[in-house]
Amino acid sequence: QTVVTQEPSVSVSPGGTVTLTCDLRSGSVSTTYYPSWYQQTPGQAPRTLIYSTNIRSSGVPDRFSGSMLGDKAALTIAGAQADDESNYYCVLYMGSGIWVFGGGTKLTVL
């Protein structure tokens, strides 16, 4: 069974920059998995931030960016703000209509 791993929790200072990563327990993440990233605050539906590794969804501020860091997908938030405090999920597309979600990263801004 495919397992996608993310940091369980990360903290960043207001105005700072933070990078969250997305890895495969066995194997490497590549752009062929079309990594996407979603933000979810408690009680809300997920919000699409990034798709196809590095394309920002409509309306997403440019301080959110996606990239590959070696064999991991990455989400970088620059100039972190208080309302960036959320859970962030990486999703990999395995092909043939199958997706795998990472366990999520809880971002604290303090």
Partner 1 sequence: EVQLLESGGGLVKPGGSLRLSCAASGFTFSTYSMNWVRQAPGKGLEWVSSITSSSRDIQYGHSVKGRFTISRDNARNLLFLQMNSLRAEDTALYYCARVMGKGTYFDLWGQGTMVAVSS
Q: Is 1 in the site for partner 1 (CB under 8 A)?
A: yes
Token pair belonging to 3: 């397992």
* Cα 52 to Cα 67: distance, rounded to the nearest angstrom: 9
Q: Which of 43, 49, 58 is nearest to 91 (CA)?
A: 49
Residue of the chain from 19, 54, 57, 76 that contacts partner 1 (CB under 8 A): 57
C-alpha triplet 1, 74, 34: angle, nearest 5°: 60
Question: Helix, strand or coil for residue 92?
Answer: strand
Residues 81-100 that bind partner 1 (CB under 8 A): 87, 89, 91, 93, 96-100
Q: Is 67 in the site for partner 1 (CB under 8 A)?
A: no
Nearer to partner 1, 14 or 103 (CB): 103
List of residues 6+ apart from 58 with CB closer than 8 A = none
Residues 17-46 that bind partner 1 (CB under 8 A): 34, 36, 38, 40, 45-46
* Sites of contact with partner 1 (CB under 8 A): 1, 34, 36, 38, 40, 45-48, 51-52, 57, 87, 89, 91, 93, 96-104
